[in-house]
Amino acid sequence: MSIAFDRVPAPGTGVRELVVNVGAVALSGLVSEPMGGDPRCLVVAVHGAGMHAGYWDAVAAPGMSLLQLGRELGFTVWAPDRPGIGCSGDLPDERIDLFSQARLLLDAIDVFAADHRIGAGVFLMGHSYGLKVALTMAAEPRGRDVLGIDGSGSGIRWVGRGGARMADGDRGPAWGPADLYPPATFSRGSLPLHEMPASQIAESDRWPDDLRGFGARIVAPVRLTFGQHERFWPVDEGHFAELRSVLSRASRFSAHIQSDVGHNVSLGLAARSYHLSALAFAEACVVARSVHRILP
């Protein structure tokens, strides 16, 4: 049985609430669809810890929403509330660990695709813990056919024993310098906050070993972004090389530094810049899939 979920902030222009029923599990979320014709592909955007799907629909300033931008550029964008968040907040711990979330979201994509056009296929995006879920999805046998994965805010080696660092002017390690964000970001009605289940918080220490265990099963193209002011993960070539080594079978791998952003890339002033680059990568993956299917 699902629980009621009153989302704050409310969806922006062209974005609507959507509940996808996967058996007895109701997954709430947000969706936007292009005005006409088939979408280029379906972008499934998975949010991180302490947030709900509204992370991808920032309302603190115009132009920041991935869902609105994707719609304008011809993509269908579906941002589910991760299992254990929103309407599925009553799921027991054994249904919302990292691997269970991945399997449930893959089931949900099948349900979504039965009722919606998805163009060339499924492209995954993820932020922070949501990137961990997206990579886990891509490592599953059913996830091997995704067009590609684009993510930010997660790596394989913490920046230090404490897992975070701070600098002068930071609002906190999850934010970095406060002036990287529109002033309205931190108002009560703009933050897409949601308590993270304690069982998911407890998984953090296991993540590097989890990724080392299944990273070689990911064959889709992978593009990773780290904010210039990221406080949780090292932003250097050594860290990128470790990720490239673990994701050794990805058909394409790249890591980038996004200027003038902290950990919460999609809530900052540079959100549109990042989203444009992520959707450009999605477009490249759509073209690559088309060429692969045409060539002998």
Confidence at 296, pLDDT banded by 50, 70, 90: very low
pLDDT surpassing 50 at residue 8 = yes
Confidence at 1, pLDDT banded by 50, 70, 90: low
Write the pLDDT tens digit of every residue in 36-63.
889 999 999 999 999 999 999 999 999 9
When pLDDT is averaged across residues 236-261 and rounded to a whole number, the result is 97
pLDDT surpassing 50 at residue 172 = yes
What element of type H or E holds 114?
A: helix 98-115
Domains of the chain, start order: 16-294 (3.40.50.1820)
Q: How far apart are CA 99 and CA 76, in angstroms?
A: 25
When pLDDT is averaged across residues 11-16 and rounded to a whole number, the result is 97
pTM of the model: 0.97
Q: How far apart are CA 149 and CA 220, in angstroms?
A: 7
When pLDDT is averaged across residues 268-284 and rounded to a whole number, the result is 98
**Looking at 161-165, 242-246, 247-251, which range is the least confident one?**
161-165
pLDDT surpassing 70 at residue 294 = no
Would you state the pLDDT for residue 292?
79
When pLDDT is averaged across residues 193-219 and rounded to a whole number, the result is 94
pLDDT surpassing 90 at residue 3 = no
Q: How far apart are CA 1 and CA 18, in angstroms?
A: 16
Write the pLDDT tens digit of every residue in 120-148.
999 999 999 999 999 999 999 999 999 99
Per-residue CA distances from 191 to 54, 89, 264, 296 (Å): 8, 19, 11, 49
Q: Write down the mean pLDDT value for the chain.
A: 95
Would you state the pLDDT for residue 163?
67
Write the pLDDT tens digit of every residue in 222-241.
999 999 999 999 999 999 99
Count CB neighbours of 203 within 10 A: 16
Residues facing 127 on adjacent strands: 152
Q: How far apart are CA 93 and CA 83, in angstroms?
A: 10
